[in-house]
């Protein structure tokens, strides 16, 4: 099937098998390697990307379903060489270790902060609870989201 998907702002047209999962389309057809695969059961969230601005687990969607829609991956977070505040905060707060869950976590955080710019710790923990991390114990991820929220609100002032 021929599909056209807007990926990080650019329209991409490809021929795919209907059964191809969105994550394989992103990784193998488009060559964007930030989305990973960590489970078989829609549990871990390391494949998370934004579909029309909302996080989805790209292992649990067929690429053909994204035809005509818009996707953002971690590769699209930085603009003009500037890290997104969420990316900068994951670095400054040591919100990552092995880095495998990081792209999905950051995309979830980005979408969440757009909906809730001043969240509590509890709200952040709730928002990232569809994404597993095995290294950090989440605490520094929470700190990173808090730091990003502060930085984003200062910028918007």
Partner 1 sequence: MFPSQFTYHAPATLGEALALLAEHGDDAKVLAGGQSLIPLMKLRFAAPPIIVDINRIPGLDTIAEEGGSLRVGALVRNRAIERSDVITSRYPTMAAAAPMISDPVVRNQGTFVGSLCHADPQGDWGSVMLALDGSVVARSVAGERVIPIGEFLDGPFTSTLRADELAVEARVPDPGSEFAGTYLKLERKVGDFATVGVAVFLATSGGTVTKAGIGLTGVGATNIKATAAEQALVGGTVSDALIEEAARLAAEAADPRTDIRGSADYKRDVVRVYVARGLRAAAATPVA
Partner 2 sequence: MTTVETAPSAEHPGWMGKSVPRIEDARFIAGRGNYVEDVVLPNMLHMAILRSPYAHARIVSIDSSAAMALPGVVAVVTGALLAEHKLAWMPTLSGDTQAVLATDKVRFQGQEVACVVAEDRYVAHDALELIVVDYEPLPAVVTPQAALEDGAPLIRDDKDGQVDNRVYHWEAGDAAATEAAFAGADRVVSLTTFYPRSHPAPLECCGCVADVNPASGKATIWMTSQAPHAIRTVFALVAGLPEQNIQIISPDIGGGFGNKVPVYPGYVVATAASLLIGRPVKWIEDRTGNLISTGFARDFHMTGELALDGAGKMLGLRVKMLSDQGYAYADAQPSKFRAGLFHMVTGSYDLPAAHVVTDGAYTNKAPGGVAYRCSFRITEASYLIERLVDVAAVEIGMDPAELRRMNFVQPDQFPYRSATGFVYDSGDYAPALDLALEQVGYAEVRAEQQARRAAGATKQLGIGIASMTEALGAGPSRDYDILGIKMFDSAELRVHPTGKAILKLGVRHQGQGHETTFAQIVAHELGIPPQDIVVQEGDTDNTPYGLGTYASRSTPTAGAAAALVARTLREKARKIAAYLLEVAEEDLEWEADRFSVKGAPEKVKTIQEIAFAAYTNHPQGMDAGLEGVKYYDPPNLTFPFATYIVVAEVDVATGEWTPVKVVAVDDCGVRINPMIVEGQIMGGLTEGYAMAAMQQIAFDEDGNCIGSNFMDYLIPTAMETPHFDLFDTCTPSPHHPLGCKGVGESATVGSPAAFVNAVVDAVSHLGVRNIDMPVLSSRVWEAIHAAPG
Number of residues that bind partner 1 (CB under 8 A): 29
The reply on whether position 26 binds partner 1 by CB under 8 A is: no
Q: 83 or 126: whose CB is closer to partner 1? A: 126
Beta bridge partners of 14: 3
Among 14, 67, 70, 125, binds partner 2 (CB under 8 A): 125
By CB under 8 A, tell whether 41 contacts partner 1: yes
- Footprint of partner 1 on 81-100 (CB under 8 A): none
Burial of 64 (0-12, 13-18, 19+ CB in 10 A): middle
Q: Which stretch binds partner 1 (CB under 8 A): 26-34, 72-80, 128-136, 146-154?
A: 128-136
CA neighbours closer than 13 Å in the CB half-sphere of residue 61:
21
58 binds, among partner 1, partner 2, none (CB under 5 to 8 A by kind): none
**Per CB under 8 A, 17 contacts partner 1:** yes
Please give the order of strands across the beta sheet that includes 10-15. Answer: 10-15, 2-7, 70-72, 48-51, 54-57
Angstrom distance (rounded) from CA 128 to CA 138: 9
Q: How far is the CB of 13 from partner 2 (least distance, A)?
A: 21
Q: Report in angstroms the alpha-carbon separations of 52 from 70, 118, 124, 133.
A: 5, 22, 21, 25
Cross-strand pairs, 48: 57
Shortest distance (Å) from residue 157 CB to partner 1: 27
Binding site for partner 2 (CB under 8 A): 17, 19-20, 27, 32-41, 43-44, 46, 73-75, 78, 83, 87, 90-92, 94, 96-103, 106, 121, 124-126, 128-142
């Amino acid at each position: 099937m021929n599909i056209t998907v807007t990926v990080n702002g650019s329209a991409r047209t490809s021929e795919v098998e209907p059964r191809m999962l969105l994550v394989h389309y992103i990784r193998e057809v488009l060559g964007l390697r930030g989305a990973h695969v960590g489970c078989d059961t829609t549990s871990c969230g390391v494949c998370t990307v934004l579909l029309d601005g909302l996080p989805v687990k790209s292992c649990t969607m067929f690429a053909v379903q994204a035809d005509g829609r818009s996707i953002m991956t971690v590769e699209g977070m930085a603009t003009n060489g500037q890290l997104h505040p969420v990316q900068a905060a994951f670095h400054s707060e040591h919100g990552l270790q092995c880095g495998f869950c990081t792209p999905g976590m950051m995309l979830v955080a980005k979408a969440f902060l757009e909906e809730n710019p001043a969240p509590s710790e509890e709200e952040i923990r709730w928002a990232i609870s569809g994404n597993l991390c095995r290294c950090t114990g989440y605490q520094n991820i929470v700190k990173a989201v808090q730091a990003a929220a502060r930085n984003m609100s200062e910028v918007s002032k």
